[in-house]
Structure 1
Amino acid sequence: MSVTTIIVTTVVGALIGGITNTIAIKMLFHPYEAKYLFGKRIPLTPGVVPMRRKEASKKLGNIITEYLLTPDVFVEKLKSKESEKFIDLFIDKQIEIIEKENISISDLLNKVSPNLRHKILEFLYYEIDTKVKNSSDELMFRTIESLLPEDAKEKLDNEVSTLHLTLNERIISYLTSDKGYNDIYTMIDDFIENRGKLERAIKYVVPKDTLATRVQGELVQLLGNEDMKNIERDFILREYESLIKQTPSSYISSIDQEKITSRASSIFKQKINVEELLDRPIHLLNKNLFDSLKSSGKIRLRENIIHYLGKHIPGIVQNLHLAEVITRQIDSFDIEKLEFLVFEVARNELKMIMLLGYVLGGFVGFIQGIVVPYIV
């Protein structure tokens, strides 16, 4: 056994072990691309990380989305005290801005899109015109009876059933008045004077005032007769039943319908006054409601936001395709920069691995220098 042999084997073993570990570490990233010799790829090129990057990025994306960034993690974070505090501060800030700057619904719409307010007004006015026209078209061909509310129909039936009595009373009141008598006298006078000689001779036999009084009395007696009252009642009821079975289209022309519909639409638009509502500051639309929002309402608003987001986060996360995003980002990451980051973070550990290679190689060489002479 020679000391020189032991030293040589120790040094050689240390160099072999250290250089092997150094090369192995370098081969994690180098070479960045495959190398070819005589048209055939040289084994172990490119390095392990460049060669397996696509596979690794895909698996890493799946691991992150399946075990780390799961919907439950987002929901849990959303329901944390920090998130609640952040949402409360955000709501308070927005309420303050709305109140101080007199923000209106139109202002919010303009921030979304400059023409959004105009489009909404067009849509609302179109809907009003359409609804009014459709309702008008429907009502025009329904019977008048079906258009009457039940209590109104019942009241109208009662009024019509006694209408003949009211008419009789008013006609009798008219006939027995001075005007009624004078009108009867005038009609008798016109009748006699506009007839032949024989008829005109009647006035010499029976005075016209006597005839007027007699006609007046007969008419009043006729109207007071029960049979006459029944005739009037039956006639009115027949006409009434016939009327309510008709449709408005029987009495209103299409041109008149268009005028009525147009007028109704205009009245609706004036009453609703959507433009004024959109331009009015939000905090003045309903001051009590806005004050309630600033106190207890914002808590309910925050709870609703959290509930809504928590309910839809699984779908949002799924639609984001986070695994694909992570895979794509890793694939597009510069390999040289990735190498720099890895070596920068694990510099001390990698140095220890290389040093360990030298130590283990030297130890193996030392043992080899002692054992080999005895074997040989």
Structure 2
Amino acid sequence: MQVEVDFILKAIGMILIGALIGAITNHLAIRMLFRPLEAKYIGKYRIPFTPGLIPKRRDELAANLGRTVVKHLLTPEGISKRLQQPVVYEAITRMIQQELQKWTRSTITIREIAERFVTNPEERLHHQMEQRIDQELATMIDAIKTARLSEVIGDGGTTKIKAAIPGIVEALLHQTEQYFESPAGKMKLEETVAQFIQSKLGGGMFGMLLANVNIVEMIQPELKRVIQGKSTHQFISEMVEQEVGTLLEQPVESLLEVETERQITERMKSEILTRIPLTKLWDTQLHELLEPFEARISQEMVPVLSKQVVVRLVEQVERILATLDLETIVREEVDLLDTAYLEEIVLSISRREFRAITWLGGLLGGLIGVIQAILLIV
């Protein structure tokens, strides 16, 4: 009886010891994947199996993980399919609309935006505008100076000038007639006649005789008749038309002096700068400019822009991934991870499986103990 009890105790001991050895062995094997984190030495000799498998082959693990991610996980085909899903398009649309609202409803002024990038933006812009206006005006005036006056004012201007000639001649003759009928005109005629008599006839008897005759009263009706005559009107008109035609065929340069050119340039530049409300524009808030267009931009332009963004991303996804070099990124990031943290990541994912492996080792060890007990009986 005592022999049977001893045998049973030995068999149970074998099973327990086998189970314990199997569990401990598997547990140590799992721990040796990570531990020790660094190589251990006795003197100058490194202890075998140190560091653990993963710390020892960390670089190879990082490289393999990078290649796996690029070849099987983040592939251009997979990313392209994901980008073309409606949820991605909607997310991009919402993001652009939200960013748009930040600008269309912003109270920041144009001046404040410009001052983020440029010092004294208003002064610099004013100076640049002056330089550009000077250049453009100089170019324009150089082109005008070589042209004829008729080319500058165009056919319309030439026609208007020629059409105004009859009225100008009529007004000129009418003013001349009124002048000679006025006291000042009569006095001028008397002076002219007296000078003529004095210069041609001298102070002789015939001159004295004419001096007593009122020649102006005799000349005035004839002068008026000549002024009102059609031949006079036609002659003056033809003369004016000829002079105007000659003037229109002259190059502008011959009519334009240097000082006049400078004054014209300065006046035009001043008028242009005065008519541009730069100060008001600089102090305009951004929402005043953009808010009227917010609805149209958000509802019409943004969806089109989102589609174009998705299309361009899909077209360029392979190049983008090649530029990003995800394999290198993954490898470098894994290299930067602390080994203890890497162990914690693996254990957090596979803790249950590792525990099952430990229990499986115990079970197998226990089965070996049972086999040994059976062999002992036999």
Does residue 238 of structure 1 match 2:246?
A: yes
Where 2:109 maps in the other structure, the secondary structure is helix
Task: Work out the CA distance in 2 between the residues paired with 1:189 and 1:149.
Answer: 43
Q: What is the letter of the counterpart of residue 334 of structure 2?
A: I
Task: Work out the CA distance in 2 between the residues paired with 1:368 and 1:247.
Answer: 127
Determine if contact 1:18/1:357 at 8 Å carries over to the other structure: yes
Q: What is the letter of the counterpart of residue 210 of structure 1?
A: M
Determine if contact 2:40/2:46 at 8 Å carries over to the other structure: yes
Residue 208 of structure 1 is aligned with which of 216, 220, 223? Answer: 216
CA RMSD of superposed structures (Å): 4.8
Q: What is the letter of the counterpart of residue 237 of structure 1?
A: G
Post-superposition Cα deviations, 1:84-126, rounded to whole Å, max 9, x if no partner, equal 379649947985x889xx742429x85x787459755455434
Where 2:143 maps in the other structure, the secondary structure is coil
Q: What is the letter of the counterpart of residue 337 of structure 2?
A: F
Q: How far off its partner does 1:78 sit?
A: 7.9
Determine if contact 2:180/2:220 at 8 Å carries over to the other structure: no
Compare 304-313 and 41-50 and name the one that shifted more: 304-313
Aligned counterpart, 2:307: 307
Go from structure 1 to structure 2 and tell me whether the alpha carbon gap of 1:162 and 1:245 turns closer, same or farther (over 3 Å shift): farther
Q: What is the letter of the counterpart of residue 165 of structure 1?
A: P
Task: Work out the CA distance in 1 between the residues paired with 2:121 and 2:81.
Answer: 35
Go from structure 1 to structure 2 and tell me whether the alpha carbon gap of 1:221 and 1:82 turns closer, same or farther (over 3 Å shift): closer
Aligned counterpart, 2:3: none
Q: What is the letter of the counterpart of residue 335 of structure 2?
A: D
Max radius of gyration: which structure?
2
Task: Work out the CA distance in 1 between the residues paired with 2:126 and 2:221.
Answer: 65
Aligned counterpart, 1:33: 38
Go from structure 1 to structure 2 and tell me whether the alpha carbon gap of 1:265 and 1:75 turns closer, same or farther (over 3 Å shift): farther
| Structure 1: runs of 5 or more not aligned | none
Does residue 125 of structure 1 match 2:133?
A: no
Residue 262 of structure 2 is aligned with which of 254, 257, 261? Answer: 254
Determine if contact 1:143/1:248 at 8 Å carries over to the other structure: no
Determine if contact 1:160/1:237 at 8 Å carries over to the other structure: no
Post-superposition Cα deviations, 1:329-370, rounded to whole Å, max 9, x if no partner, equal 322222112223323432232122123234334545665787
Aligned counterpart, 2:298: 298
Residue 341 of structure 1 is aligned with which of 328, 340, 345? Answer: 345
Q: How far off its partner does 1:50 sit?
A: 1.3
Determine if contact 2:150/2:158 at 8 Å carries over to the other structure: no
TM-score, scaled to structure 1:
0.71
Aligned counterpart, 1:167: 168
Where 1:171 maps in the other structure, the secondary structure is helix
Residue 56 of structure 1 is aligned with which of 61, 66, 70? Answer: 61
Aligned counterpart, 1:356: 360
Q: How far off its partner does 1:28 sit?
A: 0.8
Does residue 273 of structure 1 match 2:276?
A: no
Task: Work out the CA distance in 2 between the residues paired with 1:160 and 1:338.
Answer: 93
Task: Work out the CA distance in 1 between the residues paired with 2:148 and 2:124.
Answer: 29
Post-superposition Cα deviations, 1:50-93, rounded to whole Å, max 9, x if no partner, equal 12223323433444355434566388368544873796499479
Aligned counterpart, 1:186: 187
Task: Work out the CA distance in 1 between the residues paired with 2:188 and 2:65.
Answer: 111
Task: Work out the CA distance in 2 between the residues paired with 1:287 and 1:37.
Answer: 76
Aligned counterpart, 1:84: 90
Go from structure 1 to structure 2 and tell me whether the alpha carbon gap of 1:350 and 1:302 turns closer, same or farther (over 3 Å shift): same
Task: Work out the CA distance in 1 between the residues paired with 2:170 and 2:191.
Answer: 27
Does residue 73 of structure 1 match 2:79?
A: yes
Task: Work out the CA distance in 2 between the residues paired with 1:252 and 1:266.
Answer: 21
Q: How far off its partner does 1:275 sit?
A: 2.6
Post-superposition Cα deviations, 1:133-179, rounded to whole Å, max 9, x if no partner, equal 2221222212168699989611122234445434332223233x333
Q: What is the letter of the counterpart of residue 48 of structure 1?
A: L
Determine if contact 2:14/2:373 at 8 Å carries over to the other structure: yes
Q: How far off its partner does 1:129 sit?
A: 2.8
Aligned counterpart, 1:137: 138
Aligned counterpart, 2:4: none
Task: Work out the CA distance in 2 between the residues paired with 1:259 and 1:208.
Answer: 50
- Count of residues in Structure 1 that have an aligned counterpart in Structure 2: 359
Go from structure 1 to structure 2 and tell me whether the alpha carbon gap of 1:118 and 1:257 turns closer, same or farther (over 3 Å shift): same
Residue 46 of structure 1 is aligned with which of 42, 45, 51? Answer: 51
Where 2:276 maps in the other structure, the secondary structure is helix
Go from structure 1 to structure 2 and tell me whether the alpha carbon gap of 1:269 and 1:73 turns closer, same or farther (over 3 Å shift): same
Identity %: 19
Task: Work out the CA distance in 2 between the residues paired with 1:222 and 1:113.
Answer: 70
Go from structure 1 to structure 2 and tell me whether the alpha carbon gap of 1:58 and 1:248 turns closer, same or farther (over 3 Å shift): farther
Task: Work out the CA distance in 2 between the residues paired with 1:149 and 1:15.
Answer: 115
Q: How far off its partner does 1:221 sit?
A: 4.9
